[in-house]
Amino acid sequence: ILNVEQSPQSLHVQEGDSTNFTCSFPSSNFYALHWYRWETAKSPEALFVMTLNGDEKKKGRISATLNTKEGYSYLYIKGSQPEDSATYLCAQGGTALIFGKGTTLSVSS
Amino acid sequence: KAGVTQTPRYLIKTRGQQVTLSCSPISGHRSVSWYQQTPGQGLQFLFEYFSETQRNKGNFPGRFSGRQFSNSRSEMNVSTLELGDSALYLCASSLAPPVHNTGELFFGEGSRLTVL
């Protein structure tokens, strides 16, 4: 994998559903894996930065895991709410980040 | 604590013109990086500055340039604008220097450039 890839590209769920997204990245020369949440008309906001293989981080209903050996990270949202509707970006690197194209989540009430 | 401020927020230029975008980082942040987002593309890294020095540069033509001032404020310039330069340009600041930096980036709301 040469680029950072995210799947699915978009996702529509009902309020209360749990969901997860995948981020795949080159496992060689790994530095850090970032997750950002980007709401329409706002600026991207950091959710997590993970550096160690096996890292798991949690913020409220959102959690993320990291596997640097196989080059993937999962983002989980438990009990989705309409306010979770946003584009979720993952990126690999230091401050010169390589971003995926994002997963756009839409949550209906 | 004020966030990252970018100006102008919107601007329209014509082909061949040049444009300068400004970014004021969060107070105390010395690293500033710039990203471009075009339709269908993810955020693409342009360049990164720390202590008034460019530390890293993305794969963009020489028409794209930038600088950082002693107060950490940064500007980017695009000369001889092309239609394909129409994009959202995001600036981000971080606390730590580029090397060994695993900290999060704090983004501004962006400058949306339209080239006609």
pLDDT per position as a tens digit, A8-64: 999 999 999 999 999 999 988 888 999 999 999 999 999 999 999 999 999 999 999
Q: Which residues of chain B does A49 touch, with a Cβ-Cβ cutoff of 8 Å? A: 102-104
* E strand residue ranges, chain A: 5-7, 10-14, 19-24, 33-38, 45-50, 56-59, 62-67, 72-77, 86-92, 98-99, 103-108
Please state the φ and ψ torsions of residue A31, each to the nearest 5 degrees: -120, -60
- The whole-angstrom separation of Cα B29 and Cα B50 is 9
Q: Which residues of chain B does A52 touch, with a Cβ-Cβ cutoff of 8 Å? A: none
| Cβ atoms A10, A20 nearer than 8 A | no
- The whole-angstrom separation of Cα A31 and Cα B15 is 39
Please state the φ and ψ torsions of residue B39, each to the nearest 5 degrees: -55, 130
Residue A1 has pLDDT above 60, yes or no: no
- Give residue B2's pLDDT: 78
- Which B residues, 9 through 28, put their C-beta within 8 Å of a C-beta on chain A? none
Q: Report helix, strand or coil for A82.
A: helix
Q: Name the residue among B45, B99, B109 with its Cβ closest to that of A97.
A: B45
A33 interface with B at CB cutoff 8 Å:
no
Q: Report helix, strand or coil for A59.
A: strand
Interface touch B45/A4, C-beta < 8 Å: no
B102 interface with A at CB cutoff 8 Å:
yes
Q: Across residues A66-88, what is the average pLDDT?
A: 97
B51 interface with A at CB cutoff 8 Å:
no
Compute the nearest-CA separation of B17 from chain A (Å): 27
Over residues B15-51, the pLDDT tens digits come to 999 999 999 999 999 999 999 999 888 899 999 999 9
Contacts of B49 (CB under 8 A, 6+ apart): B31, B32, B33, B55, B66, B67, B68, B74
A97 interface with B at CB cutoff 8 Å:
yes
Q: Which residues of chain B does A96 touch, with a Cβ-Cβ cutoff of 8 Å? A: 33, 45, 48, 56, 58, 98
Please state the φ and ψ torsions of residue A14, each to the nearest 5 degrees: -90, 150
Mean pLDDT across chain B: 93
pLDDT band at B99 (very low <50, low <70, confident <90, very high): low
| Cβ atoms B64, B54 nearer than 8 A | no
What is the percentage of chain B residues whose pLDDT exceeds 70?
96
- Give residue A28's pLDDT: 85
Q: Which residues of chain B does A99 touch, with a Cβ-Cβ cutoff of 8 Å? A: 35, 42-44
- Give residue B17's pLDDT: 98
- The whole-angstrom separation of Cα A36 and Cα A78 is 17
Compute the nearest-CA separation of A69 from chain B (Å): 18
DSSP string, chain B: ----EEE-SEEEE-TT--EEEEEEPPTT--EEEEEEE-TT---EEEEEEETTEEEEE-S--TTEEEEE-TTS-EEEEE-S--GGG-EEEEEEEESS-STT--PPPEE---EEEEE-
- The whole-angstrom separation of Cα A69 and Cα A67 is 6
